[in-house]
């Protein structure tokens, strides 16, 4: 089989939580050897977050969150309160192609692993810092978390029900968005290094990277001096365009009623007429109130009530099946169980189900692309904390068993 795209590339991964790990997850998917530098004294936040099997946190190796975003990586445990730990990290950096981190600004500098220091011993290194505000500018030292950069980016001001306050995105969107842009940037820098031998520093601001997703809002301001209005799930050029109520799941789960919703979008008049016929309202297909986009926008409340009347008496699966058969863009507003049971994802073999030593076989999200000549595959589950310390110390990093024993006694490998 052909070598994977990043076979032979090693990543010294100082990142943690989500943005950095999402970046290095892509590199691991593509065949890089990603070595997470962790410590028992201050474990990655996601090792301490739910979900856990049976709701029991137990050890630091049972979190579904950590186990999702660290598939295929290795873990090296180092406690930087000991100077010897820095020496180990330096050996790793010297044999790595990429150094990644998403600490606050200055943390890597203060640890002695700033870009200039690394470049001095490893001139062609590619280093990426996925920072909240970027590596320069007056807010360089400001603290950011994934959830804060949704409102900060302007996304919240643009997102919300009509006439309501700004809303969130529902998840820490800037984190994975930064991670995936970071993965692309690192590989662009590798391409440049392949041609020229030159490494470089990649300064990412998660704030800025999120603004790249809302150009339509920003341009309405720079072109027209206007703050765009929040319009909920509607669209200026499509109608209906919304998320409609379906029947609740027939059974309660954990004593909670599970509500179900369907997204429907009609791109043009013809798609609207297909929808009208599919919901048994042939009478509406030529109704002047809904015949044109302008008419449907004017009567959108009435239109949405008509659609809701039909969807709300049906299961989401029945609605999607009926509307897709009629050629209407409809899709379930999927929750995590719905995705878990989704026939399309199963047929495409999207899921990863590997045996993890502490949680067993649990379904994890896989790789969102397929490559015909260099097929990517997750080969190992997320590492236990420090799982590869001995293997890396004796192999790659060249320590003797006695030295390792000594470092462990001192606590440098905690």
Please say whether the beta carbons of 15 and 37 come within 8 A. no
User: What span, in angstroms and rounded, lies between the C-alpha atoms of 236 and 234?
Assistant: 7
Q: What is the enclosing helix (H) or strand (E) of 53?
A: none
User: What span, in angstroms and rounded, lies between the C-alpha atoms of 153 and 104?
Assistant: 18
Catalytic residue among 54, 97, 124, 175: 175
CA dihedral defined by 59, 62, 63, 66, rounded to 10 degrees? 100
What are phi and psi for residue 115, nearest 5 degrees? -60, -45
Q: What is the enclosing helix (H) or strand (E) of 10?
A: strand 10-13
Measured from the CB atom, is 83 or 327 closer to another protein?
Answer: 327
Residue with the two structure tokens 């790595």: 96
The two tokens of residue 253 are: 């789960």
Measured from the CB atom, is 157 or 291 closer to another protein?
Answer: 157
The C-alpha angle 87, 91, 92, rounded to 5 degrees, equals 115
**Three-class DSSP category at 115:** helix
Q: What is the closest distance, in whole angstroms, from the C-beta atom of residue 322 to another protein in the complex? A: 13
Strand ranges, E, within 186-250: 200-205, 241-245
Q: What is the closest distance, in whole angstroms, from the C-beta atom of residue 307 to another protein in the complex? A: 12
Please say whether the beta carbons of 70 and 383 come within 8 A. yes
Please say whether the beta carbons of 19 and 130 come within 8 A. yes
Q: What is the closest distance, in whole angstroms, from the C-beta atom of residue 141 to another protein in the complex? A: 8
The two tokens of residue 246 are: 């379906």
Active site residue 175: yes
Q: What is the closest distance, in whole angstroms, from the C-beta atom of residue 281 to another protein in the complex? A: 19
Q: What is the closest distance, in whole angstroms, from the C-beta atom of residue 84 to another protein in the complex? A: 30
Q: What is the closest distance, in whole angstroms, from the C-beta atom of residue 408 to another protein in the complex? A: 31
Measured from the CB atom, is 26 or 75 closer to another protein?
Answer: 26
Strand 241-245 vs strand 126-131: parallel, antiparallel, or unpaired? unpaired
Cα first-last separation, the chain: 39
Q: What is the DSSP letter of 133?
A: S
Measured from the CB atom, is 319 or 392 closer to another protein?
Answer: 319
CA dihedral defined by 56, 61, 63, 66, rounded to 10 degrees? 170
Measured from the CB atom, is 189 or 393 closer to another protein?
Answer: 189
Measured from the CB atom, is 153 or 387 closer to another protein?
Answer: 153
Measured from the CB atom, is 64 or 393 closer to another protein?
Answer: 64
Q: What is the closest distance, in whole angstroms, from the C-beta atom of residue 25 to another protein in the complex? A: 9
Q: What is the closest distance, in whole angstroms, from the C-beta atom of residue 168 to another protein in the complex? A: 6
Measured from the CB atom, is 83 or 368 closer to another protein?
Answer: 368
**Length of the chain, in residues:** 414
Q: What is the enclosing helix (H) or strand (E) of 282?
A: helix 282-285
User: What span, in angstroms and rounded, lies between the C-alpha atoms of 390 and 255?
Assistant: 46
What are phi and psi for residue 296, nearest 5 degrees? -65, -35
Catalytic machinery residues? 175
């Amino acid at each position: 089989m052909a070598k994977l795209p990043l076979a032979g590339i090693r990543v010294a991964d100082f990142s943690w939580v989500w943005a950095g790990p999402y970046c290095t997850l892509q590199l691991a998917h593509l065949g890089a050897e990603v070595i997470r530098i962790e410590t028992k004294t201050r474990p990655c936040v996601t090792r301490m977050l739910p979900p856990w099997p049976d709701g029991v946190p137990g050890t630091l190796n049972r979190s579904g969150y950590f186990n999702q975003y660290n598939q295929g990586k290795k873990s090296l445990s180092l406690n930087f309160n000991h100077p010897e730990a820095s020496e180990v990290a330096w050996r790793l950096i010297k044999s790595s192609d990429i150094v990644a981190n998403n600490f606050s600004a200055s943390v890597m500098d203060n640890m002695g692993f700033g870009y200039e220091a690394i470049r001095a011993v490893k001139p062609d290194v590619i280093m990426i810092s996925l920072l909240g505000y970027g590596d320069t500018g007056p807010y360089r030292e400001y603290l950011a978390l994934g959830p804060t950069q949704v409102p900060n980016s302007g996304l919240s001001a643009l997102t919300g029900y009509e006439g309501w306050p700004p809303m969130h995105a529902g998840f820490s969107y800037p984190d994975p968005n930064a991670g995936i842009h970071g993965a692309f940037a690192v590989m662009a820098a590798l391409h440049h290094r392949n041609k020229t031998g030159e490494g470089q520093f990649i300064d990412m601001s998660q704030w800025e990277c999120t603004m790249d997703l809302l150009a339509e809002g920003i341009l309405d301001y720079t072109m027209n001096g206007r703050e765009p209005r929040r319009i909920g799930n509607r669209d200026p050029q499509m109608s209906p365009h919304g998320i409609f109520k379906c029947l609740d799941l027939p059974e309660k789960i954990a004593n909670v009623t599970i509500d179900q919703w369907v997204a429907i979008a009609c791109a043009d008049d013809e798609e609207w007429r297909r929808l009208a016929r599919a919901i048994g309202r042939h009478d509406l297909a030529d109704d002047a109130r809904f015949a044109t986009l302008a008419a449907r926008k004017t009567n959108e409340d009435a239109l949405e009530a008509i659609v809701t009347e039909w969807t709300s008496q049906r299961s989401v699966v029945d609605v999607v099946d009926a509307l897709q058969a009629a050629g209407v863009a409809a899709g379930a507003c999927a929750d995590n169980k719905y995705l878990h049971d989704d026939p399309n994802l199963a047929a495409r073999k999207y899921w990863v189900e590997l045996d993890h030593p502490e949680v067993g076989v649990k379904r994890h999200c896989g790789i969102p692309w397929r490559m015909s000549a260099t097929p990517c595959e997750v080969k190992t589950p997320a590492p236990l904390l420090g799982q590869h310390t001995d293997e890396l110390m004796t192999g790659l990093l060249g320590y003797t068993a006695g030295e390792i024993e000594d470092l462990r006694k001192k606590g440098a490998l905690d």
